[in-house]
Amino acid sequence: MKNRGRNISDRAAPKQQRNWDMRAASNFIAGGAGGSLLLFAAIVSLEADATRTAILLGLILIGAGLTCVWFEIGRPWRALNVYRHFATSWMTREAVVALLVFAAGGLAFLTGSTLFVVMAGIFGLAFLYSQARILSANKGIPAWRHPRSVSLMMATGLAEGAGFLACVASVSSSVIGVWALAGLIVLIAGRAWFWKSYLGGMIADGAPDAALKVLRGIDSRFVVFGHVLPVVAVAAVLAGIPGRAGWIFVAGLVVVASGWFLKFTLIRRAAFTQGIAVLHLPVRGSGAGGAAAKPGWAAVSGAKS
Protein backbone atom coordinates (compact mmCIF):
# COMPACT_ATOMS: atom_id res chain seq x y z
CA MET A 1 0.00 0.00 0.00
CA LYS A 2 2.89 2.36 0.79
CA ASN A 3 4.42 1.79 -2.63
CA ARG A 4 1.04 2.35 -4.26
CA GLY A 5 0.57 5.62 -2.37
CA ARG A 6 4.05 6.72 -3.36
CA ASN A 7 3.36 5.95 -7.01
CA ILE A 8 0.13 7.98 -6.93
CA SER A 9 1.97 10.88 -5.30
CA ASP A 10 4.73 10.73 -7.90
CA ARG A 11 2.21 10.82 -10.72
CA ALA A 12 0.47 13.82 -9.17
CA ALA A 13 3.70 15.75 -8.60
CA PRO A 14 4.94 18.40 -11.07
CA LYS A 15 6.77 17.14 -14.14
CA GLN A 16 9.27 18.94 -16.34
CA GLN A 17 7.49 19.99 -19.53
CA ARG A 18 8.60 18.32 -22.77
CA ASN A 19 6.46 20.12 -25.34
CA TRP A 20 8.80 23.08 -25.86
CA ASP A 21 12.25 21.77 -26.70
CA MET A 22 15.44 23.64 -27.55
CA ARG A 23 13.98 24.82 -30.87
CA ALA A 24 11.15 26.61 -29.09
CA ALA A 25 13.54 27.97 -26.49
CA SER A 26 15.75 29.34 -29.28
CA ASN A 27 12.96 31.63 -30.42
CA PHE A 28 12.87 33.34 -27.04
CA ILE A 29 16.65 33.28 -26.69
CA ALA A 30 17.45 34.85 -30.05
CA GLY A 31 14.22 36.67 -30.91
CA GLY A 32 14.02 38.85 -27.82
CA ALA A 33 17.63 39.93 -28.16
CA GLY A 34 17.11 40.69 -31.86
CA GLY A 35 14.05 42.83 -31.25
CA SER A 36 15.82 44.79 -28.54
CA LEU A 37 18.88 45.25 -30.74
CA LEU A 38 16.68 46.90 -33.37
CA LEU A 39 15.35 49.24 -30.68
CA PHE A 40 18.79 50.35 -29.53
CA ALA A 41 20.03 50.68 -33.10
CA ALA A 42 17.34 53.35 -33.43
CA ILE A 43 18.09 55.03 -30.09
CA VAL A 44 21.90 55.11 -29.99
CA SER A 45 23.67 57.19 -32.61
CA LEU A 46 26.25 55.01 -34.30
CA GLU A 47 27.92 55.40 -37.67
CA ALA A 48 25.73 54.47 -40.64
CA ASP A 49 27.57 51.22 -41.37
CA ALA A 50 27.44 50.14 -37.73
CA THR A 51 23.71 50.88 -37.58
CA ARG A 52 23.13 48.80 -40.71
CA THR A 53 25.15 45.97 -39.19
CA ALA A 54 23.10 46.11 -35.99
CA ILE A 55 19.84 46.06 -37.96
CA LEU A 56 20.97 43.12 -40.06
CA LEU A 57 22.08 41.21 -36.97
CA GLY A 58 18.75 41.92 -35.26
CA LEU A 59 16.80 40.60 -38.25
CA ILE A 60 19.00 37.52 -38.43
CA LEU A 61 18.42 36.77 -34.74
CA ILE A 62 14.65 37.13 -35.04
CA GLY A 63 14.59 35.09 -38.25
CA ALA A 64 16.73 32.35 -36.74
CA GLY A 65 14.44 32.07 -33.71
CA LEU A 66 11.28 31.88 -35.82
CA THR A 67 12.90 29.33 -38.13
CA CYS A 68 13.68 27.10 -35.15
CA VAL A 69 10.03 27.20 -34.10
CA TRP A 70 8.96 26.45 -37.68
CA PHE A 71 11.13 23.32 -37.71
CA GLU A 72 9.60 22.22 -34.40
CA ILE A 73 6.11 22.03 -35.90
CA GLY A 74 5.19 18.54 -37.06
CA ARG A 75 3.51 19.95 -40.20
CA PRO A 76 5.40 23.21 -40.85
CA TRP A 77 2.96 24.66 -43.37
CA ARG A 78 0.27 24.67 -40.70
CA ALA A 79 2.21 27.57 -39.19
CA LEU A 80 0.04 29.87 -41.30
CA ASN A 81 -2.85 29.05 -38.96
CA VAL A 82 -1.12 31.18 -36.31
CA TYR A 83 -2.50 34.30 -38.03
CA ARG A 84 -6.12 33.32 -37.30
CA HIS A 85 -6.32 34.31 -33.62
CA PHE A 86 -5.06 37.88 -33.28
CA ALA A 87 -7.73 38.82 -30.72
CA THR A 88 -6.80 36.10 -28.24
CA SER A 89 -3.30 34.77 -28.95
CA TRP A 90 0.03 36.42 -28.20
CA MET A 91 1.64 33.97 -30.61
CA THR A 92 -0.51 35.45 -33.36
CA ARG A 93 0.44 38.96 -32.32
CA GLU A 94 4.12 37.96 -32.32
CA ALA A 95 3.75 36.57 -35.85
CA VAL A 96 2.02 39.72 -37.10
CA VAL A 97 4.61 42.00 -35.50
CA ALA A 98 7.36 39.85 -37.05
CA LEU A 99 6.07 40.75 -40.53
CA LEU A 100 6.25 44.44 -39.63
CA VAL A 101 9.72 43.98 -38.17
CA PHE A 102 11.09 42.42 -41.34
CA ALA A 103 9.40 44.98 -43.57
CA ALA A 104 10.64 48.02 -41.63
CA GLY A 105 14.01 46.43 -40.82
CA GLY A 106 14.62 45.45 -44.43
CA LEU A 107 13.85 48.95 -45.67
CA ALA A 108 16.02 50.45 -42.92
CA PHE A 109 18.95 48.24 -43.94
CA LEU A 110 18.57 48.99 -47.63
CA THR A 111 17.91 52.73 -47.44
CA GLY A 112 19.42 53.81 -44.14
CA SER A 113 16.36 56.04 -43.67
CA THR A 114 15.97 57.32 -40.11
CA LEU A 115 12.22 56.84 -40.34
CA PHE A 116 12.52 53.14 -41.16
CA VAL A 117 15.23 52.66 -38.53
CA VAL A 118 12.92 54.12 -35.88
CA MET A 119 9.97 52.04 -37.11
CA ALA A 120 12.08 48.89 -36.96
CA GLY A 121 13.04 49.77 -33.39
CA ILE A 122 9.42 50.26 -32.33
CA PHE A 123 8.34 46.99 -33.91
CA GLY A 124 11.34 45.26 -32.36
CA LEU A 125 10.20 46.37 -28.91
CA ALA A 126 6.67 45.13 -29.68
CA PHE A 127 8.13 41.77 -30.74
CA LEU A 128 10.02 41.49 -27.44
CA TYR A 129 6.88 42.31 -25.46
CA SER A 130 4.82 39.77 -27.40
CA GLN A 131 7.33 37.07 -26.57
CA ALA A 132 7.24 37.95 -22.88
CA ARG A 133 3.46 37.66 -22.89
CA ILE A 134 3.56 34.32 -24.74
CA LEU A 135 5.57 32.84 -21.89
CA SER A 136 3.34 34.23 -19.13
CA ALA A 137 0.20 32.99 -20.94
CA ASN A 138 1.20 29.36 -20.29
CA LYS A 139 -0.70 29.01 -17.03
CA GLY A 140 0.23 25.38 -16.47
CA ILE A 141 3.87 26.26 -15.77
CA PRO A 142 4.30 28.17 -12.47
CA ALA A 143 7.74 29.51 -13.44
CA TRP A 144 6.25 31.07 -16.58
CA ARG A 145 2.86 32.25 -15.41
CA HIS A 146 4.14 34.36 -12.52
CA PRO A 147 3.26 38.02 -13.16
CA ARG A 148 6.89 39.07 -12.69
CA SER A 149 8.06 36.82 -15.53
CA VAL A 150 6.96 39.47 -18.05
CA SER A 151 9.12 42.19 -16.52
CA LEU A 152 12.04 39.76 -16.21
CA MET A 153 11.82 38.73 -19.87
CA MET A 154 11.60 42.38 -20.90
CA ALA A 155 14.55 43.33 -18.69
CA THR A 156 16.83 40.59 -19.96
CA GLY A 157 15.79 41.20 -23.57
CA LEU A 158 16.63 44.91 -23.30
CA ALA A 159 19.96 44.17 -21.61
CA GLU A 160 20.85 41.63 -24.30
CA GLY A 161 19.99 44.05 -27.10
CA ALA A 162 22.18 46.73 -25.53
CA GLY A 163 24.93 44.15 -25.10
CA PHE A 164 24.75 43.18 -28.77
CA LEU A 165 24.89 46.83 -29.77
CA ALA A 166 28.01 47.27 -27.63
CA CYS A 167 29.62 44.31 -29.42
CA VAL A 168 28.72 45.72 -32.85
CA ALA A 169 30.12 49.15 -31.93
CA SER A 170 33.38 47.74 -30.61
CA VAL A 171 33.95 45.51 -33.65
CA SER A 172 33.09 48.29 -36.11
CA SER A 173 35.21 50.83 -34.22
CA SER A 174 32.14 53.04 -33.81
CA VAL A 175 32.33 55.35 -30.82
CA ILE A 176 29.87 54.80 -27.97
CA GLY A 177 29.31 57.85 -25.82
CA VAL A 178 29.47 58.05 -22.05
CA TRP A 179 25.69 58.29 -21.77
CA ALA A 180 25.23 55.09 -23.79
CA LEU A 181 27.68 53.25 -21.53
CA ALA A 182 25.90 54.60 -18.46
CA GLY A 183 22.64 53.36 -19.97
CA LEU A 184 24.12 49.89 -20.38
CA ILE A 185 25.01 49.86 -16.69
CA VAL A 186 21.45 50.89 -15.81
CA LEU A 187 20.02 48.09 -17.95
CA ILE A 188 22.35 45.54 -16.36
CA ALA A 189 21.43 46.72 -12.86
CA GLY A 190 17.75 46.74 -13.81
CA ARG A 191 17.90 43.15 -14.97
CA ALA A 192 19.55 42.13 -11.69
CA TRP A 193 16.74 43.86 -9.77
CA PHE A 194 13.98 42.24 -11.81
CA TRP A 195 15.65 38.84 -11.44
CA LYS A 196 15.74 39.18 -7.66
CA SER A 197 12.13 40.40 -7.68
CA TYR A 198 11.03 37.44 -9.79
CA LEU A 199 12.89 34.90 -7.67
CA GLY A 200 11.52 36.43 -4.47
CA GLY A 201 8.00 36.37 -5.89
CA MET A 202 8.33 32.72 -6.87
CA ILE A 203 9.48 31.80 -3.37
CA ALA A 204 6.81 33.89 -1.63
CA ASP A 205 3.88 32.83 -3.82
CA GLY A 206 4.83 29.19 -4.02
CA ALA A 207 6.24 27.05 -6.81
CA PRO A 208 7.22 23.41 -7.38
CA ASP A 209 10.25 22.45 -5.32
CA ALA A 210 12.12 21.28 -8.41
CA ALA A 211 11.63 24.63 -10.17
CA LEU A 212 12.80 26.58 -7.13
CA LYS A 213 15.83 24.34 -6.80
CA VAL A 214 16.85 25.11 -10.39
CA LEU A 215 16.27 28.86 -10.04
CA ARG A 216 18.07 29.13 -6.72
CA GLY A 217 20.90 27.07 -8.16
CA ILE A 218 21.74 29.66 -10.84
CA ASP A 219 21.18 32.75 -8.66
CA SER A 220 24.73 33.51 -7.54
CA ARG A 221 26.34 32.62 -10.89
CA PHE A 222 23.82 34.70 -12.82
CA VAL A 223 24.32 37.75 -10.60
CA VAL A 224 28.12 37.58 -10.58
CA PHE A 225 28.83 36.64 -14.20
CA GLY A 226 25.82 38.35 -15.76
CA HIS A 227 25.90 41.60 -13.83
CA VAL A 228 28.91 42.26 -11.62
CA LEU A 229 31.54 41.37 -14.23
CA PRO A 230 30.05 43.38 -17.14
CA VAL A 231 29.53 46.41 -14.87
CA VAL A 232 33.19 46.18 -13.85
CA ALA A 233 34.18 46.03 -17.53
CA VAL A 234 32.10 49.10 -18.41
CA ALA A 235 33.45 50.90 -15.35
CA ALA A 236 36.96 50.20 -16.63
CA VAL A 237 36.08 51.95 -19.88
CA LEU A 238 34.63 54.95 -18.04
CA ALA A 239 37.77 55.09 -15.90
CA GLY A 240 39.92 55.39 -19.02
CA ILE A 241 41.74 52.07 -18.68
CA PRO A 242 43.44 51.12 -21.98
CA GLY A 243 41.69 48.60 -24.24
CA ARG A 244 38.38 50.43 -24.54
CA ALA A 245 37.00 48.38 -27.46
CA GLY A 246 37.96 45.11 -25.83
CA TRP A 247 36.32 45.99 -22.52
CA ILE A 248 33.12 47.04 -24.28
CA PHE A 249 33.01 43.88 -26.37
CA VAL A 250 33.54 41.63 -23.34
CA ALA A 251 30.87 43.46 -21.35
CA GLY A 252 28.34 43.16 -24.15
CA LEU A 253 29.14 39.52 -24.84
CA VAL A 254 28.82 38.53 -21.17
CA VAL A 255 25.49 40.34 -20.85
CA VAL A 256 24.13 38.49 -23.89
CA ALA A 257 25.49 35.08 -22.87
CA SER A 258 24.14 35.33 -19.32
CA GLY A 259 20.72 36.44 -20.61
CA TRP A 260 20.57 33.48 -22.97
CA PHE A 261 21.58 31.20 -20.09
CA LEU A 262 18.73 32.62 -18.01
CA LYS A 263 16.12 32.09 -20.74
CA PHE A 264 17.36 28.57 -21.42
CA THR A 265 17.04 27.80 -17.72
CA LEU A 266 13.52 29.23 -17.50
CA ILE A 267 12.19 27.49 -20.59
CA ARG A 268 13.94 24.13 -20.41
CA ARG A 269 15.17 23.41 -16.87
CA ALA A 270 12.79 25.24 -14.50
CA ALA A 271 9.63 24.58 -16.52
CA PHE A 272 7.79 22.18 -14.23
CA THR A 273 4.05 21.68 -14.51
CA GLN A 274 1.55 22.61 -11.83
CA GLY A 275 0.86 19.04 -10.74
CA ILE A 276 -2.34 18.07 -8.95
CA ALA A 277 -3.47 20.00 -5.87
CA VAL A 278 -6.10 18.76 -3.42
CA LEU A 279 -7.65 21.48 -1.25
CA HIS A 280 -8.63 18.94 1.41
CA LEU A 281 -8.49 15.17 1.52
CA PRO A 282 -11.95 13.55 1.40
CA VAL A 283 -13.18 11.34 4.21
CA ARG A 284 -15.69 8.50 4.21
CA GLY A 285 -18.49 8.68 6.75
CA SER A 286 -18.43 11.25 9.53
CA GLY A 287 -15.54 13.42 10.53
CA ALA A 288 -13.46 16.19 9.05
CA GLY A 289 -11.46 15.90 5.87
CA GLY A 290 -7.72 15.64 5.89
CA ALA A 291 -5.16 18.33 5.29
CA ALA A 292 -4.56 19.81 1.88
CA ALA A 293 -2.08 18.06 -0.38
CA LYS A 294 0.11 19.45 -3.10
CA PRO A 295 2.74 16.85 -4.07
CA GLY A 296 6.07 18.32 -5.09
CA TRP A 297 5.45 21.70 -3.42
CA ALA A 298 7.06 22.85 -0.19
CA ALA A 299 3.84 24.31 1.24
CA VAL A 300 0.21 24.72 0.27
CA SER A 301 -0.74 27.81 2.26
CA GLY A 302 -0.11 30.98 0.34
CA ALA A 303 0.75 29.12 -2.87
CA LYS A 304 -1.21 29.85 -5.99
CA SER A 305 -2.83 26.83 -7.61
**In the chain, where are the structural domains located?**
18-269, 277-305
Say if residues 237 and 179 touch (Cβ distance below 8 Å). Answer: no
Q: How many CB atoms lie within 10 A of CB 201?
A: 17
User: In the Cβ-directed half-sphere of 38, how many Cα atoms lie within 13 Å?
Assistant: 37
Contact 271, 183 (CB under 8 A): no
The 10 Å Cβ neighbour count of residue 64 is 15
Residue 273 CA to residue 127 CA, distance in Å, equals: 26
pLDDT reported for residue 7: 54
pLDDT of residue 87: 74
pLDDT at res. 301: 41
pTM of the model as a whole: 0.88
Task: Give residue 11's pLDDT.
Answer: 62
Q: How far is CA 240 from CA 156, 243, 261, in A?
A: 27, 9, 30
- The domain 18-269: what is its CATH number? 1.20.1630.10
For residue 208, which of 142, 280, 291 has the smallest C-alpha distance? Answer: 142
> Which pLDDT score is estimated for 284?
63
Supply the pLDDT for residue 304: 44
Taking alpha carbons only, the member of 91, 159, 73 closest to residue 131 is 91
Q: Give every residue of the chain whose pLDDT is below 50, as ranges.
A: 1-2, 4-5, 8, 300-305
